[in-house]
Amino acid sequence: MSTVKWKKHQILGSGSFGTVYVASPSNEPNSTNVIAVKSASFPHSYLLKKETNFLYELRGCPEIVQCFGDDINVENNKEVYNVMLEFAPGGTLSDLINIPGKMSERLVAFYTQSVESGVLETSTDIWSLGCIVIEMITGEKIWKNVSRQELINEIVRGEPIIPQNISDIAKDFLQRCLAKEGQKRWTADKLLYHPFIVDNFVKVAQNCDQEVFSWINPLGSCSWTSTHDLFSTHVGIPSCPGSFQRLF
């Protein structure tokens, strides 16, 4: 079986865990068969490996960007750890929040349902979800222009302000998420049946075409094996501003 080499192209985004590139087969430069590759230098790849293990556990979940495999290759005489991911050009939730004009409560509930279905496990996550819902509704960050320590102090001492110009069921949902004592917060399973989620999700789904998800691995249908020469860096293509991931 011959190994297809994949080239990294423009940068999609970067963070504390690594840098994300779009990649395509090296012998098909104009191919629409693309993946996203998240990379980190091998000596500093511990957190990225943990993220990979987490994504493996969630493979097949339609709310999560799919993970197709991982690989170690050599770039500029240094080992690089790569994770091959589904390429999703729809933009991030953060991109949507930053678009001028507030999201309707229906859309907020729709995206919230997807977040709950995919990634929540703890009461801390539920509190964070409440903050994200406020940001989706208002289109603004809860805490602005504060240092890390100031942010920690605000979180410990203060409470996020629930907007007043929203529906009563939205306020109730946020109160269930943002209860100061963790044991009083609703679980993700319980929140999925809150009227804010159920009523709005059904209304949005009725007005949307049902999206069909396909989890075909672009790296091939056979067993995937890591190699040291799977990737080669494509030099000279300028970085692409912004980060692109499939919406939930």
pLDDT of 196-220, one tens digit each? 999 887 777 666 554 444 456 666 6
- For helices 195-206 and 105-119, the axis angle rounded to 10 degrees is 110
Cα–Cα–Cα angle for 60, 66, 72, rounded to 5 degrees: 130
pLDDT tens for each residue of 63-119: 788 888 888 888 888 899 999 998 887 777 887 887 766 788 888 998 898 888 776
Q: How far is CA 50 from the centre of its chain?
A: 15
Query: In CATH, what class is 6-90+211-233?
Result: alpha beta
Distance CA 162, CA 92 (A): 24
The architecture that CATH gives domain 93-206 is Orthogonal Bundle (1.10)
Portions of the chain given CATH number 3.30.200.20: 6-90+211-233
Query: Known binding site for ATP: residues?
Result: 38
Give 98's Cβ-side CA count (13 Å radius): 7
pTM of the model: 0.65
Cβ(154)–Cβ(146) below 8 Å: yes
Query: Known binding site: residues?
Result: 38
Distance CA 86, CA 72 (A): 18
pLDDT tens for each residue of 149-181: 888 887 888 788 899 999 999 999 999 999 988
Portions of the chain given CATH number 1.10.510.10: 93-206
| Residue 8: closest CA among 47, 35, 28 | 35
